[in-house]
């Protein structure tokens, strides 16, 4: 494949700790177990998140403002379960702050990720890509899955970084490197509907989602589906590691965030290929391997 005697490399770019496990945890564990060099790049510490449970409730931004540091610990624990080395942080841990949702005071903070100097943030993103030299890069769709400004910022930055990484632009970010494929992590509407329909028991205090309340994309745009059943236990354990943000149901196959909306822990993780050539496809016209054709 390259000078590294066939070693393949995967880079996943996420906005906050826990995003990597919720949307791509099975993929991370699947490829780590297969011997792929997996790197997770996290762009903020999630300081503006809510906290589940009373024991750590005072860590939130409006009180001790220590949640970001604690979420670094949770991220390390989750990645350890998934079989990946320590995370990387864009610009170094804490360089940019969680922006919160659009229109909130957090989004006006000069240190918020959405207010990052474009050239500085792009150079930092390029530095990681050119250092890791991934064959496959995973980011978000333009909506960032559910409209969070930090997710949308990740989409914008990683897309531009992917497109210019092989050029001689931004020489301070390292030697050029051209990844082969770029994917968006997504949840298909049919996949989500079937997962919600299969929920047999909603824990007390939780509720089922209303139609359209959980983000999804039209099934026909999904190009790639990764079966993560063989590492499902690792994905579930990694979700549990993000205890301030996620609660896993007693069933072991559902979870909820602080909003107490029950969601399925998906056993197939879906993607859209947006750069590069598709590899081998199944009878449904979908890839079953992010590295197919690389």
| Res 29 pLDDT > 70 | yes
**Residue percentage of the chain with pLDDT more than 90:** 96
Q: How confident is the model at residue 278 (pLDDT cuts 50, 70, 90)?
A: very high
pLDDT of residue 231: 98
Fold observed for domain 9-275 = Rossmann fold (3.40.50)
Strand order in the sheet with 263-264: 247-248, 254-256, 263-264
pLDDT at residue 4 tops 70:
no
pLDDT of 3: 45
Which 3-state string (H, E, C) describes 85-126? CCCEECCCCCCCECCCCCCCHHHHCCCEHHHCCHHHHHHHHH
- Work out the percent of the chain whose per-residue pLDDT is above 70: 98
Residue 6 pLDDT grade (very low, low, confident, very high; cuts 50, 70, 90): low
Sorting pLDDT into bands at 50, 70 and 90, what band is 103? very high
What is the pTM assigned to this prediction?
0.96
Model pLDDT for residues 32-47, shown as the tens digit of each residue = 999 999 999 999 999 9
**Residues 77-87, mean pLDDT to the nearest whole number:** 96
Q: Quote the CA–CA distance of 60 and 49 in Å, as a whole number.
A: 7
Residue 163: half-sphere exposure toward Cβ, Cα within 13 Å:
8
What is the arithmetic mean of pLDDT over 224-231?
Answer: 98
Q: What is the dihedral of CA 235, 237, 238, 239, to 10 degrees?
A: 90
- Where in the chain are the domains? 9-275
Cβ atoms of 123 and 172 within 8 Å: the answer is yes
Question: Is residue 226 predicted with pLDDT exceeding 80?
Answer: yes
Q: In this model, does residue 100 exceed pLDDT 90?
A: yes
pLDDT tens-place string over residues 189-200: 999 999 999 999
Residue 7 pLDDT: 87
Predicted confidence (pLDDT) at residue 130 exceeds the cutoff of 50: yes
Q: Is the pLDDT of residue 268 over 50?
A: yes
Least reliable range by pLDDT among 5-19, 174-188, 226-240:
5-19
């Amino acid at each position: 494949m390259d000078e590294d005697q066939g070693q393949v490399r995967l880079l996943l770019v996420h906005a906050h700790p826990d995003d990597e496990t919720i949307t791509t945890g099975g993929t991370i564990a699947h490829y780590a177990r297969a011997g792929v060099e997996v790197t997770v790049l996290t762009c903020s510490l999630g300081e503006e998140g809510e906290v589940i449970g009373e024991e750590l409730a005072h860590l939130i931004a409006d009180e001790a403002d220590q949640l970001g540091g604690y979420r670094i610990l949770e991220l390390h624990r989750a990645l350890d379960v998934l079989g990946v080395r320590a995370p990387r942080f864009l610009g170094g841990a804490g360089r940019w702050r969680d922006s919160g949702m659009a229109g909130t005071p957090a989004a006006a903070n000069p240190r918020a990720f959405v207010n990052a100097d474009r050239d500085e943030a792009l150079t930092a993103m390029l530095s990681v890509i050119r250092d890791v030299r991934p064959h496959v890069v995973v980011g978000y769709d333009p909506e960032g899955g559910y409209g969070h400004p930090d997710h949308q910022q990740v989409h914008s930055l990683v897309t531009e970084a992917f497109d210019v990484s092989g050029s001689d632009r931004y020489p301070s970010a390292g030697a050029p490197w051209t990844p082969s494929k770029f994917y968006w992590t997504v949840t298909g509407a049919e996949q989500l509907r079937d997962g919600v329909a299969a929920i047999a028991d909603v824990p007390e205090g939780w509720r089922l989602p209303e139609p359209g309340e959980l983000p999804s994309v039209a099934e026909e745009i999904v190009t790639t589906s990764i079966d993560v059943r063989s590492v499902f236990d690792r994905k579930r354990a990694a979700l549990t590691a993000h205890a301030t943000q996620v609660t896993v149901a007693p069933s072991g196959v559902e979870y909820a965030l602080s909003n107490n909306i029950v969601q399925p822990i998906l056993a197939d993780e879906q993607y859209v290929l947006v750069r590069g050539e598709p590899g081998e496809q199944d009878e449904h016209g979908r890839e079953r391997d992010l590295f197919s054709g690389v």
